């Protein structure tokens, strides 16, 4: 009926359209992105068109459609981080990795995202690497941190 | 009822409106114009373009007329300096994302005369060569609202124009994101093909992963193209035809549903076809223009002289036909007619055979196509339910019905019913348009549908489950619970060699569950051909040809006794109307059709006839409704309606009773034999008799798919470029 | 309600046992802000050290107590002594503090930032009371009462602090009486619009349609604001109790928490709290035997600011694109799946239990007329004391920025309120009492409570550009003025930032802003130009400097300044030379250094290390001057 790895997930859902975002979140977390196959299977389960699902998924910044990198870098560009020079951190990373927000380096080692706010405004500016938030970042500290991953 | 009426003032005019109406609706009803872009009367308010802002006394902001309900005592102003300013500003914002050289070009006043910029500025930059020029709603808005001095810098999206799909092109560089296409697609196909993608200023209209519409499951109903206010979505065939001169309301004959349509005409050419309301399927929306304006259309009669077809005058052609027919013995004549012809043509054709040629050998194509199933089809038609039973259904069972391309108009009805809570079940061997939405999809092996259905009917009849497959048991269980079941028999199911088994099972199932049945057949005038008696076994009115009493009665009306049923000898003259000649055969062939013979086909005479868009007449759809065909353009060259050709031959043979002056005359005569026959009537099909003799040789099942999409014997894919792409 | 009494008694007993235990207690703030500052590494160090010391001390993880600038915060309570708080704790400091406290009983007044005991302890040790710290003294803590003091993952801690008392009281009342109590409190929606909460409840209760639905809006999308996150991480039960009360009052049987997925810890704590509620019979069928049934589902948002707008939030909950629809109908009439739906902000729900417990009258007295009660704010930016604060409405901006926040290091310039839909207020507004109306009158909004303090090093043109870029990316794209207006504003601001601004551009900015304000579909689109309008109004001179002088006074807009070293200030320490990756700084030791502006990438690495404030932004020099400086001799 459904492809491997989907059926067991669908069993926990009612199949109403309300489930769509939760389902997409599940698969985004599981595989790091929303694949074409995932959209197909979810479409079959919820009985709505793949196009509609894509329309919903592409609205929300949480969902991505390409395979993520091995390591994930997020630079917070919330207001507090912005006024504390978060933009400079972003510039540094873009220069260093040679990619824009939402992209993955050619070698697949890093993916990079600029995010709206991580909610750690009192510790601004912050950078998140592989889920760990680093407070009061500076370009120098950031470069040092990243060099640990080379 | 005083509490449902609201009194308000719009622009100083006192206005009455019903409670729940929006200001925009009230204004429109009273002929007050409020500019809008995103609104479509057929869809719920959206409120995205914001152009319909109005001032309401006592309201702090400027609400949109399309989303604000009328209230008692409201004082509304639709055109004030403040509103004009704001609208102009909104329009300038819109135009910063819509190439506007059509508005700004300094040479635009001379564009028509000189066309100097036609090639300089490409289509995408939107100068006068934008396909929507003259029909663009933005142009109209600019005319009404006016633009200020300063325009914002243009942001050209620079997305590739999407040409790869059949029928229409998409240039999202021109899109103003009014969302009409997305909404209409959603409302007709329920989460269909078009969706908004991304958000913010990166919002666009598109499909999943940027797939082509073909890949994305589009049914090409064209509703999106119809509603697009700009040149973003444009029909390929019509792209450069400009504004149509006339619109003629007629009926589509490309399947048995008989959708109303508007034929768009310019000079003597049909340049497009649009739905009257709702939508058409791909054949009706995009197939007609190419079909009826094809370069292979016949324009003059031809006669074979020394092995070659040569154009002749009508007089010569008629004389030659008379010569052949007079020397033909009654047992040696056979006539084959298409069920795409109007009932008038079919009636005159069978009368011609029975009166002029004294034979019952007139056969409409469906008999070849359906063979054994013919009597089953007649029995189902006798009980055919109107299409709107779908609205009241709580369960719907579809048999090999794929509503993606043909019959896509039914899909909207089915999905709307499902949205409302009805259960949708489908039996189909392959993946098809309904398999995504269906609550249950029974998938028999190819060619085993009839068998599966017969088992289902057996299961339903007996309480015992037996050793049936689980899926079948579940489906039977579901159907038992239905109170208001509707069974739809898809056209492809009718072509199976064992269609008689299938139809019997359908009958049994319908009987057991008290279900309504609908049989959306592929032929445009299947019912008309039966009612007209265009079959050896059937007389006008649908009674059996073996019925001597009926024969006598009809003979009295016609002033000529009708021939008895006699077996057909090897015919010496074959008269084909809308039917292809077979490759072999000794008979002399009179070929009467809209298009030239195909390569390798032979006929002694070729008589050019009119397509459905070129005649006045009627067809009868599968509900039994008599629907009008109206002449939108004259037939090409010397072509004539089929009945007129037959009448001219009959007259030349001095046979009385063929002196009709118009289609109405024929209708009047038909009404004597087919109770209540007149345009607009909803006929009872109870008079139809399942009197078909089983056909002799078994049918060629491989031709089934071809029958499905034919017009006048020609596969539509040979005439309509885009349909070829759909075949895959 | 005897069930509840039992629950409460047991919880109280556990709490008392904990507090009277002989073994030391270590409280560590491990909310997201604490974790960002390194709390988990500190936790690791604490565990290792305790093992080494062979101590039986208990470690309790608590939420954020407020002064985030002190994070990671670790409190230690020795038996019979008050909790002593240590700020900016690093793993390196842990052994020393633990050794001193646990082994020697010496509180290390130099490292301690405050204690939770009485004056006598201060006299004895010289450590100030925690709530006497300059940042905390002016605050009135109602909503944040428990934050940082109890273990948010232990429902008994909440129960021991009057938890669910408000709900139990509500159960004994008629729903109408509850709504009347909430009305009497004067509580207004804490999400920012300030609609009277009790009124909203009344409308929803009276709406036809059943069942009714309750939604807690925890989609805290304002960048720079984290009140809801802190509350949910520090005291999730308060919000859940508020939802129970709301559900009972309007007659709903199901509630949703729509929470940002960017707050994973808050989600975990909520889930945990909900599971505990269920265990204790505080959620599900027939709660506490009252006949009232209620359940709560957590729906994570998927990253869209606009989903804070209630109709967009509902669309998102229904699995659709989060695009707002025109109102009316309002959600309280036709909301989630067309059912009457009550949507309140997290903080609103968090406030409700206190109102029920202490009475609406009590809450109403806390604020000012028309603006009742206390409100939490996230005070961030260039103030000395950043963190989560709670003050009565009507407190002036000056009190918040200069007393609670301790003022700025560099001269104060502005305070940005209300998030991306708010505005920037200047020094002239400092004496404005903060309330819904005053903020609006100044051209800003109260919003959900983000306060970002800006000093001279912030460029307000750049900030306006920042907010509008945010608005452009987060616009749902539905209506013309918001989708295109934000883009035109961003592009115009970009021009100005890059030195290509023309005087006419200011007119474009205000025209487009006006159009958006008047014609956008939803509140988000209507308020999106606020950052532009307010900066145009109060900081027009900065726009002029960018447009006419081609200079960014705050040295932020890269094209409109260059860095020079002030020879007077530079000591020639040489620290800046190795950090410059452009190799743009040269200079002899102890001699003033110089920057080659043709090489300088303006990455600010040198500024980060300079201790003498010697590197400053100056107007861009002419080409000739540039060449002059650029030709170094080795």
Q: Provide the pLDDT for residue B130.
A: 77
C361 or A118, which is more confident: C361
Q: Residue B114 — pLDDT band, cuts 50, 70, 90?
A: low
Both tokens of C317, joined, read 């909950």
Q: Considering only CB atoms, which chain C residues are within 8 Å of A29?
A: none
**Taking CB atoms and an 8 Å limit, are A65 and B209 in contact across chains?**
yes
Q: Provide the pLDDT for residue A5.
A: 87
Could you tell me if B153 lies within 8 Å of chain C, comparing CB atoms? yes
Q: Provide the pLDDT for residue B99.
A: 84
What does residue B232 show for φ and ψ, rounded to 5 degrees? -65, -50
C336 touches C314 (CB < 8 A): yes
**Percent share of chain B, pLDDT over 90:** 71
C230 touches C356 (CB < 8 A): no
C413 or B131, which is more confident: C413
Q: Which CATH architecture has domain B385-518?
A: 3-Layer(aba) Sandwich (3.40)
Q: Taking 90 as the threshold, does the pLDDT of residue B89 lie above it?
A: yes
Helix (H), strand (E) counts: chain C = 26, 18
- Stretch (H or E) spanning C351: helix C346-358
Could you tell me if A42 lies within 8 Å of chain B, comparing CB atoms? no
Provide the CATH number for the domain formed by C374-455 in this structure. 3.10.20.600
Could you tell me if A100 lies within 8 Å of chain B, comparing CB atoms? no
| DSSP, res C399 | I
Q: Considering only CB atoms, which chain A residues are within 8 Å of B471?
A: none
- Give how far the C-alpha of residue C292 lies from the chain's centroid of Cα atoms, to the nearest Å: 34
Q: Considering only CB atoms, which chain A residues are within 8 Å of B186?
A: 52
Q: Taking 70 as the threshold, does the pLDDT of residue C629 lie above it?
A: no
Q: Taking 90 as the threshold, does the pLDDT of residue C633 lie above it?
A: no
Q: Taking 50 as the threshold, does the pLDDT of residue C464 lie above it?
A: yes
CA distance A77 to chain C (A): 8
Could you tell me if C332 lies within 8 Å of chain B, comparing CB atoms? no
Q: Considering only CB atoms, which chain B residues are within 8 Å of A52?
A: 186, 191-192, 195
Residue-by-residue DSSP string for B622-677: TT-BEEEE---SPPSTT-B-HHHHHHHHHHHTT-SS----SHHHHHHHHHHHSTT-
Find the mean pLDDT for residues B381-410: 93
Q: Taking 50 as the threshold, does the pLDDT of residue C83 lie above it?
A: yes
Strand B395-399 and strand B423-427: pairing? parallel
**Annotation: CATH topology of C164-364:** Rossmann fold (3.40.50)
B405 vs B428: CA distance, rounded Å: 16
Could you tell me if C222 lies within 8 Å of chain A, comparing CB atoms? yes
Q: Provide the pLDDT for residue B704.
A: 55
CA distance C387 to chain A (A): 5
**Taking CB atoms and an 8 Å limit, are C37 and A135 in contact across chains?**
yes
Q: Taking 70 as the threshold, does the pLDDT of residue B701 lie above it?
A: no
Query: Which residue in C249, C233, C221, C211 sits closest to C353, CA to CA?
Result: C249
Question: Omega before C115 cis (within 30°)?
Answer: no
Q: Provide the pLDDT for residue B696.
A: 62
B109 or A124, which is more confident: A124
Find the mean pLDDT for residues B418-422: 93
The minimal CB distance from A123 to the residues C71, C301, C419 is found for C71
**Taking CB atoms and an 8 Å limit, are A48 and B196 in contact across chains?**
no
Residue of C nearest to A126 (CA): C36
Could you tell me if B199 lies within 8 Å of chain C, comparing CB atoms? yes
Q: Which residues of A28-63 are buried (b: 16+ CB within 10 A; e: fewer)?
A: beeeebbeeebbbbbbbbbbbbbbbbbbbbbbbbbb
Q: Considering only CB atoms, which chain C residues are within 8 Å of B49?
A: 479-480
Residue of A nearest to B194 (CA): A51
Find the mean pLDDT for residues B545-563: 92
**Which residues is C585 bridged to in the sheet?**
C595
Residue of A nearest to B196 (CA): A55
Q: Provide the pLDDT for residue A85.
A: 87
Helices (H), B308-353: 314-326, 343-351
C284 or A124, which is more confident: C284
CA distance B186 to chain C (A): 13
User: Per-domain residue ranges for chain B?
Assistant: 2-79, 117-292, 302-359+532-712, 385-518
Q: Provide the pLDDT for residue B121.
A: 43
Find the mean pLDDT for residues B650-667: 96
C170 vs C158: CA distance, rounded Å: 18
| DSSP, res B78 | S
B370 or B399, which is more confident: B399
Q: Provide the pLDDT for residue B467.
A: 67
Q: Considering only CB atoms, which chain A residues are within 8 Å of C450?
A: 79, 121
Kindly report the CATH class assigned to C460-547. mainly alpha
**Taking CB atoms and an 8 Å limit, are C222 and A117 in contact across chains?**
yes
Find the mean pLDDT for residues B183-204: 91
Q: Which CATH architecture has domain B2-79?
A: Roll (3.10)
- Which subunits sit against B, judged by 3+ Cβ pairs under 8 A? A, C
**Taking CB atoms and an 8 Å limit, are B50 and C519 in contact across chains?**
yes
Q: Provide the pLDDT for residue B242.
A: 81
CA distance A43 to chain B (A): 8
Q: Provide the pLDDT for residue C630.
A: 45
Q: Provide the pLDDT for residue B82.
A: 93
Per-residue pLDDT tens digits for C575-626: 999 988 889 999 999 999 999 988 998 888 899 899 999 999 999 876 555 5
Both tokens of B177, joined, read 């994101």
Residues 6+ apart with CB under 8 A from C110: none
The minimal CB distance from C68 to the residues A78, A82, A122 is found for A122
Q: Taking 90 as the threshold, does the pLDDT of residue B460 lie above it?
A: no
CA distance C479 to chain B (A): 4
Find the mean pLDDT for residues C183-202: 94
Report whether CATH 1.20.1250.20 matches the domain B117-292: no
What does residue B70 show for φ and ψ, rounded to 5 degrees? -70, 150
The minimal CB distance from A140 to the residues C260, C474, C608 is found for C608
Q: Considering only CB atoms, which chain C residues are within 8 Å of A133?
A: 32, 35-36
Find the mean pLDDT for residues B385-400: 94
The minimal CB distance from B196 to the residues C475, C477, C481 is found for C477
Please give the C-alpha separations between residue B461 and each of B454, B470, C224, C352, in angstroms, as whole numbers.
11, 17, 69, 62
Q: Residue B466 — pLDDT band, cuts 50, 70, 90?
A: low
The minimal CB distance from A134 to the residues C36, C69, C454 is found for C36
| C-alpha torsion C320→C324→C325→C330, nearest 10 | 110
CA distance B85 to chain C (A): 9
User: Per-domain residue ranges for chain C?
Assistant: 19-132, 164-364, 374-455, 460-547, 561-630
Q: Provide the pLDDT for residue B598.
A: 87
Write the ipTM: 0.90
Find the mean pLDDT for residues B464-486: 85
**Taking CB atoms and an 8 Å limit, are C480 and B93 in contact across chains?**
yes
B680 touches B629 (CB < 8 A): no
Query: Which residue in A17, A103, A93 sits closest to A66, CA to CA?
Result: A103
Stretch 274-303 of chain C: residues touching chain A, C-beta under 8 Å: 299-303
B122 or C436, which is more confident: C436
* Top mean-pLDDT range of B200-204, B463-467, C626-630: B200-204
C275 or C36, which is more confident: C275
Q: Provide the pLDDT for residue B1.
A: 44
Provide the CATH number for the domain formed by B302-359+532-712 in this structure. 3.40.50.740
Q: Considering only CB atoms, which chain A residues are within 8 Å of C608?
A: 138-140
Find the mean pLDDT for residues B334-362: 95
Average per-residue pLDDT for chain C: 93
Dihedral of alpha carbons C596, C601, C607, C609, sign: negative
Q: Provide the pLDDT for residue C632.
A: 45
Q: Residue B123 — pLDDT band, cuts 50, 70, 90?
A: very low
Q: Residue B222 — pLDDT band, cuts 50, 70, 90?
A: very high
Pick the CATH number of C19-132 from 1.20.810.10, 3.40.30.10, 3.40.50.10320, 3.40.50.300: 3.40.30.10
**Taking CB atoms and an 8 Å limit, are A62 and C71 in contact across chains?**
no
Per-residue pLDDT tens digits for B124-181: 444 556 778 778 899 899 989 988 777 888 899 999 999 999 999 999 999 999 999 9
CB pairs under 8 A between B and C: 93
CA distance A95 to chain B (A): 24
Which domains occur in chain A, in start order? 7-59 (1.10.10.1590), 71-147 (3.40.30.10)
Q: Provide the pLDDT for residue B292.
A: 94
Residue-by-residue DSSP string for B409-478: HHHHHHHHHHHHT-EEEEE-SS--TTTTT-SEEE-PPTT-HHHHHHHHHHHHHSS--TT--HHHHHHHHH
Please give the C-alpha separations between residue C163 and each of C250, C268, C346, in angstroms, as whole numbers.
21, 20, 17
Pick the CATH number of C561-630 from 3.30.365.10, 3.90.1150.10, 3.30.70.20, 3.10.20.30: 3.30.70.20
Could you tell me if C591 lies within 8 Å of chain B, comparing CB atoms? no
Q: Provide the pLDDT for residue B241.
A: 82
Q: Considering only CB atoms, which chain A residues are within 8 Å of B207?
A: 51, 54
Helices B449-461 and B499-513, interaxial angle, to 10°? 30
Q: Provide the pLDDT for residue B126.
A: 41
Strand B168-170 and strand B13-18: pairing? unpaired
Weakest mean pLDDT among A118-132, B440-454, B657-671, C372-386: A118-132
Q: Provide the pLDDT for residue B125.
A: 42
Q: Provide the pLDDT for residue B499.
A: 86
Q: Which residue has the tokens 């509180």?
A: C107
Could you tell me if B200 lies within 8 Å of chain C, comparing CB atoms? yes
Q: Taking 80 as the threshold, does the pLDDT of residue C511 lie above it?
A: yes
**Percent share of chain C, pLDDT over 90:** 86
Q: Taking 50 as the threshold, does the pLDDT of residue A4 lie above it?
A: yes
B694 or C60, which is more confident: C60
Average per-residue pLDDT for chain B: 90
């Amino acid at each position: 009926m459904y492809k491997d790895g989907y059926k067991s997930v669908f069993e926990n859902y009612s199949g109403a359209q309300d489930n769509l975002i939760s389902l997409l979140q599940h698969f985004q977390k599981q595989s790091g992105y929303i694949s074409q196959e995932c959209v197909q299977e979810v479409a079959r389960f919820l009985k709505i068109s793949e196009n509609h699902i894509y329309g919903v998924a592409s609205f929300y910044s949480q969902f991505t459609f390409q395979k993520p990198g091995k390591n994930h870098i997020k630079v917070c560009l919330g207001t507090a981080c912005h006024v504390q020079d978060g933009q400079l951190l972003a510039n540094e990373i873009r220069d260093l990795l040679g990619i824009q927000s939402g992209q993955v380096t050619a070698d697949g080692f890093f993916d990079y995202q600029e995010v709206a706010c991580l909610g750690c405004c009192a510790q601004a500016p912050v950078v998140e690497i592989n889920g760990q938030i680093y407070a009061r970042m500076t370009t120098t500290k950031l470069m040092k941190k990243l060099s640990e991953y080379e | 009822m005083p509490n449902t009426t609201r009194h308000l003032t719009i622009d100083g005019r006192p206005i009455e409106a019903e409670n729940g109406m929006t200001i925009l609706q009230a204004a429109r009803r009273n002929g007050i114009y409020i500019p809008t872009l995103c609104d479509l009367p057929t869809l719920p308010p959206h409120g995205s373009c914001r152009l319909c802002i109005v001032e309401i006394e006592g309201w702090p902001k400027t609400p949109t007329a399309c989303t604000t309900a009328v209230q008692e005592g409201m004082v509304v102003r639709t055109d004030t300096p403040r509103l004009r300013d704001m609208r102009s500003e909104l329009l300038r914002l819109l135009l910063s994302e819509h190439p506007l050289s059509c508005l700004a070009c300094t040479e635009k006043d001379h564009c028509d005369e000189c066309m100097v910029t036609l090639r300089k500025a490409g289509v995408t930059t939107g100068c006068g060569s934008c396909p929507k020029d003259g029909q663009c709603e933005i142009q109209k808005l600019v005319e009404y609202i006016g633009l200020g001095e300063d325009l914002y810098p243009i942001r050209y999206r620079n997305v590739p124009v999407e040409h790869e799909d059949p029928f229409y092109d998409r240039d999202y560089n021109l899109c103003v994101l009014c969302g009409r296409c997305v909404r209409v697609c959603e409302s007709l196909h329920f989460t269909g093909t078009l969706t908004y993608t991304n958000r913010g200023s990166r919002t666009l209209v598109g499909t999943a992963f940027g797939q082509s519409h073909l890949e994305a499951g589009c049914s090409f109903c064209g509703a999106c193209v119809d509603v697009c206010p700009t040149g973003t979505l444009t029909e390929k065939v019509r792209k450069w035809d400009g504004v149509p001169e006339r619109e003629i309301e007629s009926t589509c004959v490309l399947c048995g549903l008989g959708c109303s349509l508007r034929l768009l005409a310019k000079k003597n050419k049909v340049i497009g076809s649009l739905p009257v309301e709702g939508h058409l399927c791909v054949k009706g929306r995009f197939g007609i223009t190419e079909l009826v304006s094809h370069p292979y259309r016949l324009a003059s009669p031809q006669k074979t002289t020394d092995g070659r077809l040569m154009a002749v005058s009508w007089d010569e052609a008629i004389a030659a036909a008379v010569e052949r027919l007079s020397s033909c013995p009654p047992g040696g004549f056979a006539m084959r007619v298409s069920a795409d012809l109007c009932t008038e043509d079919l009636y005159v054709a069978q009368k011609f055979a029975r009166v002029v040629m004294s034979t019952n050998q007139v056969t409409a194509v469906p008999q070849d196509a359906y063979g054994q199933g013919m009597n089953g089809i007649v029995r189902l038609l006798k009980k055919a339910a109107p299409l709107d039973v779908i609205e009241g259904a709580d369960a719907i069972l579809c048999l090999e019905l794929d509503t993606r391309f043909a019959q896509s108009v039914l899909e909207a009805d089915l999905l709307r019913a499902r949205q409302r809570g009805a259960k949708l079940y489908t039996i189909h061997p392959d993946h098809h348009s309904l398999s995504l939405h269906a609550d249950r999809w029974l998938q028999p092996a190819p060619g085993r549908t009839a068998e599966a259905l017969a088992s289902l009917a057996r299961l339903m009849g007996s309480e015992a489950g037996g050793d049936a497959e689980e899926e079948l048991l579940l489906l039977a269980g579901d159907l038992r619970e239905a109170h208001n079941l509707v069974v739809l028999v898809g056209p492809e199911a009718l072509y199976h060699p064992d269609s008689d088994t299938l139809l019997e099972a359908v009958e049994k199932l319908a009987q057991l569950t008290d279900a309504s049945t609908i049989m959306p057949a592929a032929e445009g005038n299947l019912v008309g051909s039966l009612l007209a008696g265009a079959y050896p076994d059937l007389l006008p009115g649908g009674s059996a040809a073996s019925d001597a009493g009926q024969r006598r009665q009809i003979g009295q009306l016609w002033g000529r006794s009708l021939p008895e049923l006699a077996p057909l000898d090897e015919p010496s003259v074959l008269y084909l109307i809308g039917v292809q000649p077979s490759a072999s055969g000794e008979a002399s062939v009179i070929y009467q059709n809209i298009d030239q013979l195909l390569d390798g086909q032979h006929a002694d005479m070729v008589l050019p006839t009119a397509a459905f868009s070129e005649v006045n007449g009627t067809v009868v759809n599968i509900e039994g409704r008599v629907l009008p065909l109206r002449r939108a353009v004259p037939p090409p060259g010397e072509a004539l309606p089929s009945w007129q050709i037959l009448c001219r031959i009959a007259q030349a043979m001095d046979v009385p009773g063929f002196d009709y002056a118009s289609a109405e005359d024929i209708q009047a005569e038909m009404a004597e034999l087919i109770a209540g026959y007149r345009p607009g009537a909803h006929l009872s099909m109870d008079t139809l008799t399942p009197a078909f003799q089983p056909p002799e040789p078994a049918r060629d099942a491989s031709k089934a798919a071809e029958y499905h999409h034919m017009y006048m014997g020609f596969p539509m894919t040979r005439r309509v470029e885009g349909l070829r792409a759909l075949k895959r | 309600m005897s069930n509840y009494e039992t629950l409460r008694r047991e919880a109280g007993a556990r709490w008392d046992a904990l507090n009277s235990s002989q073994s030391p207690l270590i409280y560590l703030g491990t909310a997201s802000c604490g974790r960002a500052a390194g709390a988990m590494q500190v936790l690791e160090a604490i565990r290792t050290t305790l093992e080494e010391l062979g101590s039986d001390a208990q470690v309790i993880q608590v939420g954020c107590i407020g002064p985030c600038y002190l994070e990671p915060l670790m409190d230690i309570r020795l038996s019979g002594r008050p909790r002593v708080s240590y700020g900016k704790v690093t793993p390196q400091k842990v052994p020393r503090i633990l050794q001193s406290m646990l082994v020697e009983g010496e509180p290390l007044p130099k490292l301690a930032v405050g204690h939770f005991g009485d004056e006598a302890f201060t006299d004895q040790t010289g450590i100030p009371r925690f709530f006497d710290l300059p940042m905390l003294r002016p605050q009135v803590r109602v909503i944040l009462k428990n934050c940082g003091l109890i273990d948010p993952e232990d429902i008994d801690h909440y129960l021991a602090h009057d938890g669910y008392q408000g709900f139990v009281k509500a159960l004994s009342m008629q729903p109408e009486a509850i709504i009347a109590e909430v009305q009497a409190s004067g509580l207004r929606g804490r999400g920012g619009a300030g609609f009277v909460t009790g009124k909203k409840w009344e409308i929803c209760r009276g709406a036809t349609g059943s069942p009714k639905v309750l939604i807690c809006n925890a989609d805290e999308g304002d960048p720079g604001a984290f009140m809801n996150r802190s509350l949910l991480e520090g005291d999730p039960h308060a919000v859940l109790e508020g939802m129970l009360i709301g559900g009972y009052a309007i007659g709903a049987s199901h509630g949703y928490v729509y929470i940002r997925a960017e707050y994973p810890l808050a989600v975990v704590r909520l889930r945990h709290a909900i599971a505990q509620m269920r265990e204790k019979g505080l959620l599900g069928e027939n709660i506490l035997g009252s006949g009232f049934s209620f359940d709560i589902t957590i729906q994570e948002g998927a990253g869209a600011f606009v989903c804070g707008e209630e109709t967009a939030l509902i669309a998102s909950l229904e699995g659709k694109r989060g695009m707002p629809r025109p109102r009316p109908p309002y959600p309280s009439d036709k909301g989630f799946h067309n059912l009457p739906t009550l949507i309140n902000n997290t903080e609103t729900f968090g406030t409700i239990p206190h109102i029920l417990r202490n009475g609406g009258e009590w809450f109403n007295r806390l604020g000012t007329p028309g603006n009742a009660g206390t409100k939490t704010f996230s005070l961030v930016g260039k103030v000395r004391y950043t963190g989560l604060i709670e003050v009565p409405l009507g407190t002036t901006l000056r009190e918040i920025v200069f007393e609670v926040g301790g003022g700025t290091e560099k001269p104060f310039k502005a305070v940005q309120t209300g998030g991306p839909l708010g505005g920037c207020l200047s020094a002239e507004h400092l004496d404005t009492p903060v309330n819904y109306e005053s903020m609006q009158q100044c051209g800003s909004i109260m919003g959900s409570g983000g306060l970002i303090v800006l000093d001279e090093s912030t460029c307000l043109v750049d900030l306006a550009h920042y907010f509008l870029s945010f608005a452009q990316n987060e616009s749902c794209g539905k209506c013309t003025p918001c989708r295109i207006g934000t883009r035109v504003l961003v592009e115009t601001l970009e021009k100005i930032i890059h030195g290509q601004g023309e005087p006419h551009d200011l007119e474009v900015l205000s025209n487009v802003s006006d159009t958006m304000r008047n014609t956008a579909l939803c509140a988000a689109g209507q308020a999106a130009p606020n950052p532009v309008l307010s900066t145009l109004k109060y900081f027009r001179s900065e726009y002029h400097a960018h447009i006419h002088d081609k200079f960014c006074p705050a040295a932020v807009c890269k094209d409109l300044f260059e860095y020079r070293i002030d020879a007077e200030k530079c000591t020639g320490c040489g620290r800046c030379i190795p950090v410059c990756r452009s190799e743009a700084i040269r200079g002899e030791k102890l001699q003033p250094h110089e920057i080659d502006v043709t090489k300088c990438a303006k990455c600010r690495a040198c500024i980060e290390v300079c201790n003498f404030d010697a590197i400053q932004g100056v107007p861009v020099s002419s080409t000739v001057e540039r060449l002059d400086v650029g030709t170094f001799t080795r």
